[in-house]
Structure 1
Amino acid sequence: MQLLALALYHRDGRPTPRVVRFRPGALNILTGESETGKSEVLDIVDYCLGRSTPNLPDEPIDQTVGWYALLVTFRDDSRMLLARPRPTGASTTHAMIRTGDETLDLPRADELKQNSNVAALRSELSARLGIEDFRFQPPTGAARASFDVSIAQAALLCFQNQNEIADKKALFHRQTENGIAQAIKDTLPYFLGAAGPEQALRRYHLGEAQRAQRAAQRKLDDARRHQASVDASGLALLRLAQSEGLLDEVPAAPSAEQIRALLEHALTVTAMTVGPADLRDRRQALSEERRAFREQLQDLDEALAVVERWKQQGKAFTGELHLQLGRLKSLHLLGPERDADTSICPMCTRPLEEPDPTAADITLLTERLTDELEQAQTLQPVRDEHRRALQSEREAVVERLRVNGAQLRELAASDERMRDLQEQHLRIARVQGRIDQALTAGTGSSAGDIGRLHNDLTLAQENVETLQALIDEDDVTAETERRLTDIAANMTRWAKRLNLGQAAAADEVAISLSQLNVVLRRPLGRLPLNRIGSAKNWIGYHLVAHLALHTYFRLHNRPVPGFLMLDQPTQAFFPEKIRDATTVQDADWATVTAYFALLRDVADLNEGALQIIVCDHANLTDEEWFQDALVENWRPVDGNRQALIPTDWLD
């Protein structure tokens, strides 16, 4: 896969996009002044290839651009359009995909529509590149998670921004970000051809087999511990059952089968009768009799209370009658007044509305009250007799309760043995309950079950050993090192060509997979890049490493994009805040020219299979081949500023 064109579409929907076109299979140089957008080209291409967390600057790109589009081509001349809308937050997954033949080109602004997402874009790109569909499985016990191998990892080998290309501690794109270095270590053997889906599948199966082995070991250990616990607790239960009389004799060291048989026998023993039946019946009879006496006593108390209330009410009634009769006796003192007219007021002689009762009426009432008083006085002796009968009956019941209580206390005093038997019965019941629980819990932990679990563990161990042997035969590490050694041949030759520091004395310049950096192998020992001074050397070793790596990819048709993007590879030769490198007269232009000449020669060496895109300040105006490689020159023309974002977009 190589790049044909990069397009930026204005947010206001202008029909004409800003397009940067590239030549496949050749060196492409994009040069210009500072702050013209050269470094952003790499970030935009990375974003179009499916990066979900863009690293695009806010001004002026993000403020003017609404869509980014990348047109790519493949070895079979098919093309693919990868478009992404302007991200609206820290991450985005929206995308647009088009596929076609060599006639496919950039779309119009009104044709940009979201029809896919990042996952589908990466999947399609991975398939077109030939990346096999498999999931990388980390080694057993590794803390990191598995992941699908895709363009996401392959693209890390295709970019070097201006900070990365001069980094003495890291060699690859985004290597210092969390998890990226490990992802490169995990997938570089695959992209080199030292490992494939078969090894990943075997490693996955090995991990599953090792988990199964650990599970089988845990089950066997648990069963053995459980069986030992059951045997110990079973022997203790046997001793306890023997002490309670459930078993006659228990061997000193019984086997597991004997323990289980004796415990099962202890469950069948019926507890002895707990005390004489007559004592139990007598206690029950006395208790029922006591309840009856208490109920009878309560009834008698209630009856006596009623009689007492009657007595008090009778006394009040007869007392009132005596009082009223005493008052009415004065009627006997009347003479002729008895026959007076009671309908006329004796004071004013006027008729009364309600006539007063006559003396005869009052005399009649007095006689009736006298009769009632005599009747009430005749009832009082009857009531007194009834109360005395109730009190006598109550005293008899109280005496019976006293006798009953004495009998119960006497029965309780002679019932000590009965309580002892009851306690023994409860102890026996508890022991048998524990035996039943132990036998139930012990199910599944027999010798036969332990034997089966041991066989399962043996099979799991044999499976692990078989898979481990297959993985050891693959020896991915050794194969990766062999291929890195092949790559080191070009790295060593090109490092000496550029006269990089310590290269002349080195036997080999190579990539260390463990360090993910360049190392020099010398007679005095290995020398890592971070121990070599000068940004010129750091950049130079980055160049030779990535050029040799991609040359190997192209030679062996590996599923890695066929382009390498480099940002500011000559930054070490110019002032830190340079505006235009062409204005610097005292720079080491010979070395700058040598760097670009190496890029040109490596592109030619790969015969169209490798595309190199360089964004840089330098412009070698005296070198015809350099001018032929220019795709954009962002320097003022007739006073008009040239940059990634057109001037009229900023108005």
Structure 2
Amino acid sequence: MQLLALALYHQDNRNPPRVLRFHPGRLNILTGESETGKSGVLAIIDFCLGRSKPGLPDNPIDRTVGWYAVLAEFRDGRRMVLARPRPAGESTNEAFVRSGDQTLSLPSAAELHVNSNAAALRGEVSAHLGIEDFRFQPPAGAARYPFDVSVAQGALFCFQNQDEIAASKTLFHRQTEDGIAQAIKDTLPYFLGAAGPEQALRQYRLGEARREVRTAQRKLDAALRQREVLDTNGIALLRLAQSEGLLSDVPAAPDADTVQALLRKALAVPPLAPISSDVGDRRQELNEERRTLRAQLQEFDAALATVDRWQRRSFDFTGELHLQVDRLKTLDLLGPERDHDTDVCPMCTQPLEHRDPSAQDISRLTNRLSEELEQAAGVQPVRQEHLRALQVQRNGLAERLKANGVLLKELMASDENMARLQEQHLRAAHLQGRIAQSLAHDLRPTDDVGQLRNALASAQEVVSVLEEHTANDDVPAETERRLADVAAQMTPWARRLKLGQSEEPNEAGISFKKLSVVIRRPQDRLPQERVGSAKNYIGYHLVAHLALHTYLRHHHRPVPGFLALDQPTQAFFPSKPRDASTVPDADWSTVTEYFRLLHDVSELNRGDLQIIVCDHANLPDDWFQQAVIDNWRPNEDGTRNALIPPRWLT
């Protein structure tokens, strides 16, 4: 597959498409000043081959173009138009595909419409390239997904952007993106011819068979561990059953059958009767009775205290009355003085304002008090009898309360015994549940382990057969052998460009493990990044890709037959030169040698390899000028050539 043309279609179709023509089978040079869109050419080609993102900056390209298209031709003469609309967002899967013979050309803007998608586009291109229809299966256990091998992987060997061609540690297009380096490692053996769909299928089946072996081994190990656990657990359950009274006379080292029989015997022991709840009811009754007795006892204590206070106060009062009565009785000793006039003072015979009580009045009062004291003395025995009755009743309540306490204490002791018995019943029931669960888990065919051993042996036999079939499929070794053939072409070209570390006996090659250039020296292996200088990085990238594509072309491998390079001479000019032809101190001899190598390699491949270069350089040599497909520098009339025509911006 080589490119015949690249076309850009205006968004509103008011202008004819911008077409860039390529020459198949030879060197194509697009030269010009900076910021003319040269680097966008590679991104557009990559996008038209099925990428979801165009990777173009937000510049006049994105603001004016509606469709991108390439016209490609295959080895059998068939042609294809691969077109993609400008994505409305960051990406798109829409596409336009048209196939035909050698008369097929770029379509008009009116003919462009979405008739396919990116996946179908890649599938058709892959089929025309001769990429066999197979799905790459990662090795068993790899943390990545299978994918269909297509031009999406083959195109990774066809581009070198400006930052990629001067990279110090990487070699291939998009290698630093997630998953791309691994995709290159997965598919490079196929594109080199070191492995095909048959080997991939055998490797996949071998990986699946090994996975089956690991699965069967895990199942067998799990069954053996379960059997061991069940046996150990069964003996432990027997000891517990013996300690809980479910079994007696358990052997010290019973065999598996004895364990099963004894466990079934323990499981057959009837469950113990539940503990009656009468004890709790009786304890509640006693507590209620105790509260009642204490309340009654408090009432009697209060009554006794009241009677006692009443009696003490009565004694105090009657005693005082007896004292006063005894004093008043002395009036009985008076003679004629008893009849003294109480209205006159006996001392001064003066009349009194308030009449004094007479002796007769005091005698009557004394007699009345004496009578009341006699009555009070008669009540005293009744009060004493009431006090004794209250005390007797109070003592009876105290005895009943004491008896209640004794009963509660005995009931609590009995309750503790019943709780221990209840706990024992629960432990026994729980143990019987564990025994039932253990027996249920062990109810499997006795030959389960034997069946698993047979399954493991069968899976191992399948692996052995597949390993014999794949013994000759040493893909890594075959890949290295073919990369050695690539290195055989790299080394003389590196010496031709006088790259660092290229002198004899050193040899340049591609490291499959690191996906970068390595210099094999007699004493060691020197990685590309240790060679140093941008000139060497670019030079080794050139010779590596030229040698790789030459190998692919000579062996008719299904990789697109073009190599697109962006700024391969950037190391010889200042950063972003406006026009490299105006730089007086550039190493023009080395620049010439780089382009001469590109020209010679394209000639060496006799039309099978197309090389597209976008660069600032514009050498005066005839062979260089014959390779120039466009020159994006100002015209004599002052107009400027670029990827986007100036009239599109007006």
* TM interval, short-chain normalised: 0.7 to 0.9
Secondary structure of the corresponding residue to residue 29 of structure 1:
strand
Choose the corresponding residue for 1:631, options 629, 632, 642: 629
Q: How many Å apart are 1:584 and its aligned residue?
A: 2.5
Listed as ranges, the matches of 1:516-595 within 5 Å are 516-595=515-594
* Distance in structure 2 (CA, Å) of the matches to 1:173 and 1:189: 17
Matched residue, 2:301: none
Q: How many Å apart are 1:426 and its aligned residue?
A: 6.2
Q: How many Å apart are 1:105 and its aligned residue?
A: 1.0
* Residues 532/100 of structure 1: CA separation in 2 closer, same or farther (3 Å cut): same
Conservation of the 8 A alpha-carbon contact between 2:220 and 2:449: yes
Matched residue, 2:318: none
Q: How many Å apart are 1:236 and its aligned residue?
A: 2.5
Amino acid at match of 1:460: A
Conservation of the 8 A alpha-carbon contact between 1:8 and 1:18: yes
Conservation of the 8 A alpha-carbon contact between 2:497 and 2:593: yes
* Distance in structure 1 (CA, Å) of the matches to 2:200 and 2:586: 50
Q: How many Å apart are 1:260 and its aligned residue?
A: 1.2
1:273-295 CA-to-partner distances (Å, cap 9, x unmatched) read 999xxxx9xx9xx99xx9xxxxx
Matched residue, 2:113: 113
* Residues 153/245 of structure 1: CA separation in 2 closer, same or farther (3 Å cut): same
Conservation of the 8 A alpha-carbon contact between 1:14 and 1:109: no
Amino acid at match of 1:632: D
1:284-322 CA-to-partner distances (Å, cap 9, x unmatched) read xx99xx9xxxxxxxxxxxxxxxxxxxxxxxxxxxxxxxx
Conservation of the 8 A alpha-carbon contact between 1:43 and 1:55: yes
- 1:239 aligned to 2:260? no
Secondary structure of the corresponding residue to residue 163 of structure 2:
coil
Matched residue, 1:597: 596
Q: How many Å apart are 1:221 and its aligned residue?
A: 2.4
Amino acid at match of 2:440: T
Conservation of the 8 A alpha-carbon contact between 1:15 and 1:109: no
Q: How many Å apart are 1:608 and its aligned residue?
A: 1.0
More divergent stretch after superposition (449-458 vs 29-38): 449-458
Amino acid at match of 1:58: D
1:514-539 CA-to-partner distances (Å, cap 9, x unmatched) read 12111121223222221123222221
* Distance in structure 1 (CA, Å) of the matches to 2:649 and 2:427: 96
Matched residue, 1:163: 163
1:78-99 CA-to-partner distances (Å, cap 9, x unmatched) read 1111111112222221111111
Conservation of the 8 A alpha-carbon contact between 1:274 and 1:418: no
Matched residue, 1:222: 222
* Residues 437/635 of structure 1: CA separation in 2 closer, same or farther (3 Å cut): same
Secondary structure of the corresponding residue to residue 92 of structure 2:
coil
Listed as ranges, the matches of 1:167-182 within 5 Å are 167-182=167-182
Matched residue, 2:124: 124
1:173-227 CA-to-partner distances (Å, cap 9, x unmatched) read 1112222122112211111011122222233223322332332222222222222
Secondary structure of the corresponding residue to residue 636 of structure 1:
coil
Matched residue, 2:327: none
Conservation of the 8 A alpha-carbon contact between 1:69 and 1:84: yes
Q: How many Å apart are 1:456 and its aligned residue?
A: 2.1
Conservation of the 8 A alpha-carbon contact between 1:274 and 1:421: no
* Distance in structure 2 (CA, Å) of the matches to 1:520 and 1:477: 20
1:367-391 CA-to-partner distances (Å, cap 9, x unmatched) read xxxxxxxxxxxxxxxxxxxxxxxxx
* Distance in structure 1 (CA, Å) of the matches to 2:272 and 2:30: 105
Secondary structure of the corresponding residue to residue 473 of structure 1:
coil
Give TM-score scaled by structure 2 length. 0.75
Conservation of the 8 A alpha-carbon contact between 1:267 and 1:436: yes
* Residues 587/82 of structure 1: CA separation in 2 closer, same or farther (3 Å cut): same
Matched residue, 2:77: 77
Secondary structure of the corresponding residue to residue 474 of structure 1:
coil
- 1:250 aligned to 2:241? no
Matched residue, 1:348: none
**Root-mean-square deviation (Å):** 3.1
Matched residue, 1:260: 260
Which stretches in structure 1 are left out of the alignment for 5+ residues? 291-404
Secondary structure of the corresponding residue to residue 585 of structure 1:
coil
Q: How many Å apart are 1:555 and its aligned residue?
A: 0.6
* Residues 483/418 of structure 1: CA separation in 2 closer, same or farther (3 Å cut): closer
1:36-86 CA-to-partner distances (Å, cap 9, x unmatched) read 111110111011111112210211110111110111111111111111111
Conservation of the 8 A alpha-carbon contact between 2:549 and 2:561: yes
- 1:99 aligned to 2:124? no
Q: How many Å apart are 1:636 and its aligned residue?
A: 1.8
* Residues 418/63 of structure 1: CA separation in 2 closer, same or farther (3 Å cut): closer
Secondary structure of the corresponding residue to residue 585 of structure 2:
coil
Secondary structure of the corresponding residue to residue 59 of structure 2:
helix
Matched residue, 1:479: 478
Q: How many Å apart are 1:601 and its aligned residue?
A: 1.3
Amino acid at match of 1:541: Y
More divergent stretch after superposition (247-256 vs 79-88): 247-256
Matched residue, 1:25: 25
Amino acid at match of 1:618: A
* Distance in structure 1 (CA, Å) of the matches to 2:66 and 2:429: 84
* Distance in structure 2 (CA, Å) of the matches to 1:88 and 1:419: 80
Structure showing greater radius of gyration is 2
Conservation of the 8 A alpha-carbon contact between 1:506 and 1:520: no
Q: How many Å apart are 1:146 and its aligned residue?
A: 2.5
Conservation of the 8 A alpha-carbon contact between 1:31 and 1:619: yes
Amino acid at match of 1:631: I
1:244-271 CA-to-partner distances (Å, cap 9, x unmatched) read 5554533221121221122223444556
Amino acid at match of 1:44: I
1:481-533 CA-to-partner distances (Å, cap 9, x unmatched) read 11011111111111112222221234321111112111121223222221123
Conservation of the 8 A alpha-carbon contact between 2:28 and 2:610: yes
Listed as ranges, the matches of 1:605-620 within 5 Å are 605-620=604-619
Conservation of the 8 A alpha-carbon contact between 2:68 and 2:84: yes
* Residues 272/187 of structure 1: CA separation in 2 closer, same or farther (3 Å cut): closer
* Residues 219/245 of structure 1: CA separation in 2 closer, same or farther (3 Å cut): same
Amino acid at match of 1:636: P
* Residues 425/11 of structure 1: CA separation in 2 closer, same or farther (3 Å cut): closer
Q: How many Å apart are 1:232 and its aligned residue?
A: 2.0
1:403-423 CA-to-partner distances (Å, cap 9, x unmatched) read xx9xx99xx99x999999988
- 1:642 aligned to 2:644? no
Q: How many Å apart are 1:564 and its aligned residue?
A: 0.4
* Distance in structure 1 (CA, Å) of the matches to 2:563 and 2:91: 25
* Residues 429/142 of structure 1: CA separation in 2 closer, same or farther (3 Å cut): closer
1:98-127 CA-to-partner distances (Å, cap 9, x unmatched) read 111111111111111111111111111111
* Distance in structure 2 (CA, Å) of the matches to 1:176 and 1:233: 56
Matched residue, 1:505: 504
Matched residue, 1:490: 489
* Residues 243/88 of structure 1: CA separation in 2 closer, same or farther (3 Å cut): same
- 1:138 aligned to 2:130? no
Secondary structure of the corresponding residue to residue 195 of structure 2:
coil
Matched residue, 1:368: none
* Distance in structure 2 (CA, Å) of the matches to 1:168 and 1:625: 31
Percent identity over the alignment? 66
Q: How many Å apart are 1:630 and its aligned residue?
A: 1.5
Conservation of the 8 A alpha-carbon contact between 2:15 and 2:648: no
Secondary structure of the corresponding residue to residue 640 of structure 1:
coil
Amino acid at match of 2:631: N
Q: How many Å apart are 1:615 and its aligned residue?
A: 1.0
* Residues 30/252 of structure 1: CA separation in 2 closer, same or farther (3 Å cut): same
Conservation of the 8 A alpha-carbon contact between 2:497 and 2:590: yes
* Residues 618/257 of structure 1: CA separation in 2 closer, same or farther (3 Å cut): same
* Distance in structure 1 (CA, Å) of the matches to 2:427 and 2:538: 88
Amino acid at match of 1:568: Q
* Residues 33/440 of structure 1: CA separation in 2 closer, same or farther (3 Å cut): same
More divergent stretch after superposition (430-439 vs 490-499): 430-439
* Residues 174/259 of structure 1: CA separation in 2 closer, same or farther (3 Å cut): same
